[in-house]
Amino acid sequence: MNNKTEIMMNHGSLISNILSWLFALAVFAIGVVNTFWGNDPGFGVFLILLSLVHVPPLNVSLKERTGLAIPRIAKIALGVFIMWASLGVGELFDKINLMMADL
C-alpha cells in the first residue's frame, strides 16, 4: 500500500473509534439515568453492560484473547435496539426530567 492509502485507512478507523467512544458514553449515561431514576434499575445495568460492546479497547482485548470479534453490523443493530428501547419504550426524556427535578 502507498502512504496515502494507509493515511486514509487510519483516518477511517480514527473516526470509527471516536464514534464508538461517543456512542458508548451516551449509552452509559442512558444506563445510569435508567438505573437511578427509572422504574427498572435492571434495565439500566443492562444498558451499562451493553455500552461496553462499543468501547474500542475492550473489542481489541476480546479479539486478542479469544480470536473472536464482534461484527460491525451486530454493533449497529445493537445500537438501533438500544436507541429504540431507551427513547421509545424506556421514556428516557421523562426520566431525565425526574433526574433534573432531584438535582
pLDDT in tens, 36-78: 887 788 999 999 999 999 998 998 888 899 988 888 899 999 9
| Mean pLDDT calculated for residue range 77-97 | 83
Q: Tell the burial category of 47 from Cβ atoms under 10 Å away from its Cβ (0-12, 13-18, 19+).
A: buried
Residue 90 domain boundaries: 3-102
Contacts 24+ apart (CB under 8 A), 14-22: 17/56, 20/54, 20/55, 20/56, 20/59, 20/75, 21/54, 21/55, 21/56
Question: Which of 32-36, 73-77, 97-101 shows the lowest mean pLDDT across its residues?
Answer: 97-101
User: What pLDDT sits at residue 7?
Assistant: 45
Name which residue leads in pLDDT, 1 or 93: 93
Domain count, the chain: 1
In this prediction the pTM is 0.78
- DSSP state at residue 97: H
